[in-house]
Structure 1
Amino acid sequence: MRAGTGRKRVRAGVYSRAPEVLYVNERRGRAVKKLLLVALAAIGGLLVYRQIQADRAEQDLWTEATDSVSTGS
C-alpha cells in the first residue's frame, strides 16, 4: 500500500454502472424524440397558418376585383 499518493483504487465490477447509463440514455432519447415531435408540430402549424393567410389574401384580391362599382350618381 502506498502512502501519500492520494489516489484510491476503484474496481469496476460487471454491473458497475451499466443500468444507470442505459436509463439515462433511454431518458435522453425520449427527450430528443419529444423535442423533435414538438418542433415538427410547430413547423406544420406554421405552414398551415401561412397557407391560410395566403388563401385569405387571394380571396380578398378576388373580392376586390369582382366587386360591383357604384356609379356615384
Structure 2
Amino acid sequence: MILFTIFIFILSIFEIKKMLKNGLKKELTVFIFLTLLTLTLGYYYISNPYRRSISNIILTFFGIEY
C-alpha cells in the first residue's frame, strides 16, 4: 500500500507542476479530487480484496441484478 501511495504521489507532483505552470486552476481541483478518490478506492480494495467490490455495492444500491 505504501508503494501505491508513493507512486500516486510522485505522479501527482509532476502533473500539478505542469498544471500550475499552464495556469489550469479549475483542472487542478478536479485532478486533486480524482487523485484522492483513486487513493481511497485503492486503499479500500487493497486492504481486503475479498470483500464486496465498489461496483457490487453500487449495483445493489440501485437494485440491479447481475
- If the length of structure 2 is used for normalisation, what is the TM-score? 0.38
Larger Rg: 1
Larger relative helix fraction: 2
Higher relative contact order (CA 8 A, sep 6+): 2
- If the length of structure 1 is used for normalisation, what is the TM-score? 0.35
